[in-house]
A and B are shown apart, each in its own frame.
Chain A
Amino acid sequence: MDTFPATLLALAITAPIFVGLILLAGRDLPRSFASGFAFGGFAIPAVLGPWLLILWSNPSTAPQQFQSEGFWGFGFALNGLGAPLLAMTSLVGLAAGIKALTQEVEGRNTYLGLILFMLGGTLAVFGTNHLVGFYFFHEFALIPTFILTLFWGGEGRRPAAMQMAIYLTAGAMASLAGILIAIDASGVEYGVATFENVAQGLQNAKSIPAATGALVLFGLGTLASLFPFHSWAAPGYSAAPTPVSMLHAGALKKFGLYGIILLGLSSLDITGGSLGTWFLWFAVANVVLVGLICLAQRDLKQLLSWSSVAHMGPIFLGIWVCGVSGKADGLDAAAFLMVAHGLSCAALFLLANAVRARAGTYRLDELGGLATRTPILAALFIAATMASIGLPGFGNFWGEVGVFLALRAQPLWLQALVASTVILSAVYALRAVASTFFGPASEALEKRFASAPFGDLGWAERFAAFVLLGASLTIGFVPSLITKSVNPVAAGITTFSQHNAKAPVKAAPAVPTQR
Chain B
Amino acid sequence: MIPFLADIDPVFKVLAPRPADWLSILPEIAVAGLSLICLLQAMFLPKALRSLIPITARVGLVLVAIMALTNGPWVQPTDVASFAGLLRQNLPTDGVRMVFLLSALLTSFLAEGFLRERDAAVADYHHVLLVVTAAFMLLVQSNHFVTFFLSLETAAVGLYVLVGYLRRSEASLEAGVKYLVAGGLSSAFLLMGIVLVYGALGSVGVADSLNFTQIGKALAAQSVANTISPLTLTGIALILGGVAFKLGAFPFHTWIPDVYQGAPTPTTAFLGTASKAAGAFTLVLLATGPFAPIAVKLAPLLGVTAVLTLLVGNLGALATTDVKRTLSLSGVSHAGFILAAVTAALVLPGANAFGYDVEQVIVIYLLAYVIGTFLTAQALVSLPAIEDHRRPQLALRGLLRRSPLLASALGFGIGSLAGVPPSVGFIAKLLVLILLVSAKLWWILGAALIGVAISIHYYFSILREAVVRPTDADEELAPLEIPFGTRFLIGALTAASIIGGLFVLFGR
Contact = CB atoms under 8 A, between A and B. Distances in A.
Contacts of A183: 437
A166 B505 contact: no
A74 B420 contact: no
B421 A151 contact: no
B449 A174 contact: yes
Nearest to B442: A209
B438 A184 contact: yes
B422 A136 contact: yes
Contacts of B433: 176-177, 180
Contacts of B280: none
Interface in A245-281: none
A180 B505 CA distance: 15
A191 B430 CA distance: 13
A181 B437 contact: yes
A151 B468 CA distance: 9
B12 to A, nearest CB: 51
Interface in A440-457: none
Nearest to A71: B506
B404 A140 contact: no
A176 B438 CA distance: 14
Contact of B505 (A74, A173, A174, A184): A74
Interface string A164-188: 0110011001101100110110000
A132 interface: yes
Given A151-B467, A162-B457, A74 B506 contact: yes
B488 to A, nearest CB: 15
Contacts of B457: 162, 165-166
B506 A132 contact: no
Contact of B453 (A72, A143, A169): A169
B505 A158 contact: no
B421 A140 contact: yes
B452 interface: yes
Contacts of B438: 184
A132 B427 CA distance: 11
Interface string A30-73: 00000000000000000000000000000000000000000111
A139 B426 CA distance: 10
B404 A27 contact: yes
B467 A177 contact: no
Interface string A475-515: 00000000000000000000000000000000000000000
A185 B461 CA distance: 37
Most B CB within 10 A of own CB, among A27, A140, A151, A180: A180
B310 interface: no
Contacts of B353: 190
Nearest to B433: A180
Given A74-B506, A139-B426, A165 B460 contact: yes
A72 B404 CA distance: 33
Contact of B420 (A139, A173, A209): A139
B254 to A, nearest CB: 27
A140 B433 CA distance: 18
Would you call the interface of chain A mostly helix, strand, loop, or mixed?
helix
A177 B442 CA distance: 9
A140 B422 contact: yes
B445 interface: yes
Interface in B18-33: none
Would you call the interface of chain B mostly helix, strand, loop, or mixed?
helix
B450 interface: yes
Most A CB within 10 A of own CB, among B355, B460, B467, B502: B460
B415 interface: yes
B157 interface: no
**Is the interface on chain A under 10, 10 to 19, 20 to 34, or 35 or more residues?**
20 to 34
Nearest to B501: A136
A146 interface: yes
Contacts of A162: 457, 460-461, 464
Given A27-B404, A139-B420, A139-B421, A173 B464 contact: no
Contacts of B506: 71-74
A222 to B, nearest CB: 11
A299 B457 CA distance: 28
A72 B502 contact: yes
A157 B107 CA distance: 37
Nearest to B404: A27
B507 interface: yes
Nearest to B352: A190
Nearest to A175: B449
Interface in B183-197: none
Nearest to B456: A169
Contacts of A170: 453
Contacts of B308: none
A150 interface: yes
A143 B415 contact: yes
A166 B453 contact: yes
Contact of B437 (A143, A165, A174, A184): A184
Contact of B434 (A137, A169, A180): A180
B453 A177 contact: no
Contacts of B456: 165-166, 169
B416 to A, nearest CB: 12
Given A151-B467, A180-B434, A180-B437, A72 B507 contact: yes
A374 B16 CA distance: 94
A241 B434 CA distance: 36
Contact of B445 (A72, A137, A177): A177
A173 B453 contact: yes
A150 B442 CA distance: 34
Interface string B424-441: 001000100110011000
Given A72-B506, A166-B453, A173-B449, A150 B464 contact: yes
Interface string B352-363: 011100000000
B409 to A, nearest CB: 14
A177 B449 contact: yes
B200 to A, nearest CB: 39
A371 to B, nearest CB: 38
A334 B109 CA distance: 56
A122 B317 CA distance: 32
Nearest to B452: A173
Contacts of A176: 430, 433, 449
B428 to A, nearest CB: 13
Interface string B461-480: 10110010000000000000
A328 to B, nearest CB: 32
B450 A173 contact: yes
Contacts of B463: 150
Nearest to B491: A25
Contacts of A181: 437
B496 to A, nearest CB: 16
Contacts of B502: 71-72
B460 A191 contact: no
Contacts of A132: 430, 505
A169 B437 CA distance: 19
B464 A158 contact: yes
Contacts of B446: 177
Interface in A134-157: 136-137, 139-140, 143, 146-147, 150-151
Interface in A395-444: none
Contacts of A209: 442
Interface in A180-220: 180-181, 183-184, 190-191, 209
A209 B445 CA distance: 14
B423 to A, nearest CB: 10
B421 A191 contact: no
A20 to B, nearest CB: 13
Interchain residue pairs A-B with the least CB separation, the first 6: A72-B506, A173-B449, A170-B453, A180-B437, A169-B456, A139-B421
7 contacts: A27-B404, A71-B502, A72-B502, A147-B411, A162-B461, A166-B453, A173-B452
Given A139-B426, A162-B461, A166-B453, 13 more contacts: A72-B502, A136-B421, A140-B421, A140-B422, A143-B420, A143-B421, A150-B467, A165-B457, A173-B450, A180-B433, A180-B437, A181-B437, A183-B437
